């Protein structure tokens, strides 16, 4: 009965996941996880993606949830397989990204016995998961309602971050082929009915065993108080950090809020607002704008911060005297500068909509001297992007050209380190509005390509990735995932860790190159061939533009390698930031 019960429990677990809306599963090969993989593979409503690397499948699950707001299930076998998912789980925890971890384990009698591939998987991820539970080895002595309600609780708790169900199985793991029923729902039918009315209703129906509801509506009294505070401010500013949700909905909510309150808007690259938004309501390139001494007369007296902390450290430190109101769905302090103020633990997009509805009687943006004072700055930034980037293929120009040319049918994923900073500083204002994802919770360079694959699965769009050479090396096997999804990967190869050239360690010349610059001397043409991707290595700006046009006009995966020099990049970065500083101070 052991093999029969293993598959039965795994099938019940997968069925309940599907009834709760979890229909996408990511897995890697393994033995102990066989019952879970079999159950997922045989379910007609499940999309199961397999890849050799557990770290990549975990990041793919993360990317999927970023795109959809719903958890994917991550299946692993026992042992070190779990540990490979830790970076993605940390990222999901910090960003409150839904994630359901279904890990297979040896039975409890093998723990702490030196049994092969047996580690202590209980509470392995510590405080980085919202809930942990050992699922015992399947047994007829445990009512199936317990398993179903446990899955329901796990999916419910996973809406705010990763949840870990550790599923123990004894051998034999699955029945012989002749003993496996042909249908995934083999538990249905009169013969499985019992005296348990709840179980009978579940067997006979299609609804989850337990159902939970969540209200996203905001407290009217608190909203009224916040709206009054905004209307009392003379220089309100909305900072849009990383926001989750459908991009068009976010844009409409942000536009309505800014227009009705007369607030100036600043958007992070991960806010879903930067690309294709234009410059009518938002100030682009704010991190670059704040380089040097910011203009004091343009500092806000009230900052409303929606979503997670933005990439820009300068933006985080801006306007220390302003009152702050932070709105985010996570149960987490969002105050790295320790400024205090208001804290609203609500869905940021819902609050934007509700605040706009509470703005009756506010003068709005018409004739606002506060908004008018930003017009010269806005025009200076626009001229800077159009005129000062030059005609050389630099890292900054690469970010600008890529964000200008990404088609509306794609999704943009940007790696940490210099990639996300250049995208945040130099994103074009006249491109298409596309969904954007960046792993900024822990800001690791690992798993970027795998995240892009999951983001593509969730959004139903072709992935476009901007990534550095070290980040690509770190996730090289995930080129297979991008190739499967016809991805366009643009890698900046400056032969090492370019971000370190921006830091004081660069002045320690005896240490910098071997221990921080970490030159590797590699290119990626062979990697592109290995994973059946097209390859281009443009040397000029026009060649890069043509390579992008060919990639986006085609339907096959392409890796475009832009070779730069770290020292020259630092010089160019300083030149551009100084040029914008001079424009804004001259034109203000």
pLDDT tens column, 145-168: 999 999 999 999 999 999 999 999
Q: Verify that 118 and 233 share a domain, yes or no.
A: no
pLDDT for position 360: 60
Q: Highest mean pLDDT range out of 18-22, 116-120, 354-358?
A: 18-22
The verdict on pTM exceeding 0.85 is yes
| Residue 96 and residue 26 share a domain | yes
88 and 37 in a common domain: yes
Place of tokens 């250049």: 422
Helix axes 2-19, 34-42, angle to 10 degrees: 50
Per-residue model confidence as pLDDT tens digits over 122-144: 999 999 999 999 999 999 888 88
Query: For residues 164 and 82, is the Cβ–Cβ distance under 8 A?
Result: no
Mean pLDDT of the chain: 91
pLDDT for res 560:
98
CATH number at residue 95: 3.40.50.970
Burial (CB < 10 A; 0-12, 13-18, 19+), residue 449, is: buried
Cα separation of 85 and 490, whole Å? 25
Q: Which of 38-42, 182-186, 390-394, 566-570 has the lowest mean pLDDT?
A: 182-186
Q: Do 35 and 82 belong to one domain?
A: yes
240 and 356: one domain? yes
Asked whether 65 and 88 are in contact (CB, 8 A), the reply is: no
Report the alpha-carbon distance of residue 423 to residue 428 in Å, rounded: 9
Does residue 44 lie within any of the structural domains? yes
Of 493, 543, 557, nearest to 523 by C-alpha is 493
For the segment 542-571, the average pLDDT, to the nearest whole number, is 97
pLDDT at position 287: 92
Residue 97 lies in a domain: yes
pLDDT of amino acid 362: 55
Highest mean pLDDT: which of 291-305, 436-450, 551-565? 551-565
When mean pLDDT is compared across 3-7, 524-528, 572-576, the lowest value belongs to 3-7
Q: Is the model's pLDDT at 461 over the cut of 80?
A: yes
Residues 505, 471, single domain; the answer is: yes
Q: Per-residue confidence at 175, pLDDT binned at 50, 70, 90?
A: confident
Residue 561 contacts residue 535 (beta carbons within 8 Å): yes
- Give me the pLDDT at residue 296, please: 58
Q: CATH code at 228?
A: 3.40.50.1220
Q: Provide the pLDDT for residue 502.
A: 78
Confidence class of residue 401 from pLDDT cuts 50, 70 and 90? very high
- pLDDT at 524 > cutoff 60: yes
Which residues partner with 110 through β-bridges? none
Indicate if 291 and 438 belong to the same structural domain. Answer: no
Q: Give the number of domains in the chain.
A: 3
pLDDT of res. 212: 80
Segment 160-183 mean pLDDT: 90
Taking CA atoms, 250 is separated from 241, 256, 425, in Å, by 12, 10, 21
* Domain annotation covers residue 210: no
Q: What is the DSSP letter of 242?
A: B
Q: Is the pLDDT of residue 86 over 90?
A: yes
Write out pLDDT tens, residues 403-435: 999 999 999 999 999 999 999 999 998 889 999
Domain, as residue range, for 133: 2-204
What share of the chain has pLDDT > 70, as a percent? Answer: 94
Helices 395-405 and 566-587: angle between axes, nearest 10 degrees: 70
Average pLDDT over every residue of 59-87? 97
- Dist CA 348 CA 227 (whole Å): 14
- Domain assignment of residue 378, yes or no: no
Condensed to tens digits (0 to 9), the pLDDT of residues 331-380 reads: 777 888 877 888 888 899 999 999 988 766 555 656 678 888 888 888 89
- Residue 472 and residue 496 in contact, taking contact as beta carbons nearer than 8 Å: no
166 and 269, same structural domain?
A: no
How sure is the predictor about 208, in pLDDT bands with cuts at 50, 70 and 90? very high
The reply to whether 56 falls in a domain is: yes
335 in any annotated domain? yes
The size of the chain, in residues, is 588
**Tokens 């070779």, residue?**
563
Q: Is 349 part of a structural domain of the chain?
A: yes
Query: Does 381 fall in a domain?
Result: no
Q: Are residues 168 and 297 in the same domain?
A: no
Distance, CA of 423 to CA of 242 (rounded, Å): 14
Residue 412 sits in the same domain as residue 534: yes
State the Cα–Cα distance between residues 588 and 296, nearest whole angstrom.
11
pLDDT at 506: 80
- Which of 172, 204, 236 represents a domain boundary (last residue)? 204
**22 with 155: CB under 8 angstroms?**
yes
pLDDT (tens digit per residue) in 242-279: 998 888 889 999 999 998 899 999 999 999 999 987 66
Residues 467 and 575 occupy one common structural domain: yes
Same domain flag for 440 and 503: yes
d(CA 241, CA 230): 19
- Of 171, 204, 237, the residue that ends a domain is 204
pLDDT given at position 189: 53
pLDDT of residue 451: 98
* Structure confidence at residue 213 as a pLDDT band (50, 70, 90): confident
């Amino acid at each position: 009965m052991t093999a029969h019960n293993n598959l039965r429990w795994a099938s019940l677990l997968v069925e309940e996941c599907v009834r709760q809306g979890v229909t996408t599963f990511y897995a890697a090969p393994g033995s102990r996880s066989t019952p879970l993989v079999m159950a997922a593979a045989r379910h007609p409503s499940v999309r199961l993606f397999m890849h050799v690397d557990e770290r990549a499948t975990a990041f793919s699950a993360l990317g999927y949830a970023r795109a959809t707001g719903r958890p994917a299930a991550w299946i692993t076998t026992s042992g070190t397989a779990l540990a490979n998912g830790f970076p993605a789980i940390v990222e999901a925890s910090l960003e409150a990204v839904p994630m359901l971890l279904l890990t297979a384990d040896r039975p409890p009698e093998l723990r702490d016995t030196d049994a092969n591939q047996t580690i202590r998987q209980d509470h392995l991820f510590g405080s980085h998961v919202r809930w942990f539970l050992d699922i015992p080895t399947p047994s007829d002595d445990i009512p199936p309602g317990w398993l179903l309600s446990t899955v329901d609780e796990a999916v419910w708790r996973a809406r705010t971050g990763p949840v870990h169900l550790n599923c123990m199985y004894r051998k034999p793991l699955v029945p012989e082929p002749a003993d496996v029923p042909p249908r995934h729902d083999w538990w249905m039918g009169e013969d499985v009915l019992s005296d348990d009315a709840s179980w009978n209703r579940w067997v006979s129906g299609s609804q989850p065993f337990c159902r939970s509801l969540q209200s996203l509506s905001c407290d009217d009294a608190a909203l009224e108080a916040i709206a009054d505070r905004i209307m009392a401010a003379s220089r309100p500013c909305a900072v849009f950090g990383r926001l989750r949700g459908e991009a068009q909905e976010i844009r409409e909510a942000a536009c309505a809020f800014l227009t009705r309150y007369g607030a100036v808007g600043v958007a992070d690259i991960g806010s879903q607002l930067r690309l294709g938004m234009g410059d009518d309501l938002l100030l682009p390139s704010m991190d670059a704008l704040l380089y040097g001494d910011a203009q004091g007369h343009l500092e806000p007296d009230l900052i409303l911060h929606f979503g997670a902390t933005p990439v820009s450290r300068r933006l985080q430190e801006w306007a220390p005297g302003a009152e702050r109101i932070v709105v985010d769905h996570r149960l987490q302090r969002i105050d790295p500068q320790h400024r205090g103020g208001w804290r609203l633990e609500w869905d940021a997009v819902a609050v934007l909509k509700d605040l706009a509805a509470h703005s009756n009687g506010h003068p709005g943006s018409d004739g606002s001297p506060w908004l008018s004072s930003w017009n010269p700055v806005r025009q200076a930034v626009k001229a800077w992007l159009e005129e000062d980037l030059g005609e050389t293929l630099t890292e900054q120009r690469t970010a600008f050209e890529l964000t200008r040319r990404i088609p509306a049918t794609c999704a943009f994923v940007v790696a940490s380190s210099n990639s996300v900073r250049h995208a945040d500083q130099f994103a074009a204002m006249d491109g298409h509005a596309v969904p954007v994802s960046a792993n900024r919770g822990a800001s690791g360079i690992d798993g970027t390509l795998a995240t892009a694959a999951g983001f593509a699965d969730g959004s139903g769009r072709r992935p476009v990735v901007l990534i550095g050479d070290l980040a690509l090396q770190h996730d090289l096997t995930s080129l297979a995932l991008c190739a499967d999804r016809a991805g366009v990967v643009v890698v900046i190869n400056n032969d090492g860790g370019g971000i370190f050239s921006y830091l004081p360690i660069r002045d320690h010349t005896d240490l910098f190159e071997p221990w921080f610059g970490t030159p590797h001397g590699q290119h990626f043409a062979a990697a592109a061939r290995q994973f059946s991707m097209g390859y281009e290595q443009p040397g000029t700006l026009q060649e890069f533009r043509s390579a992008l046009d060919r990639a986006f006009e085609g339907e096959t995966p392409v890796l475009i390698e832009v070779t730069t020099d770290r020292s020259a990049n630092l010089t160019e970065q300083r030149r551009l930031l100084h040029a914008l500083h001079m424009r804004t101070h001259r034109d203000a």
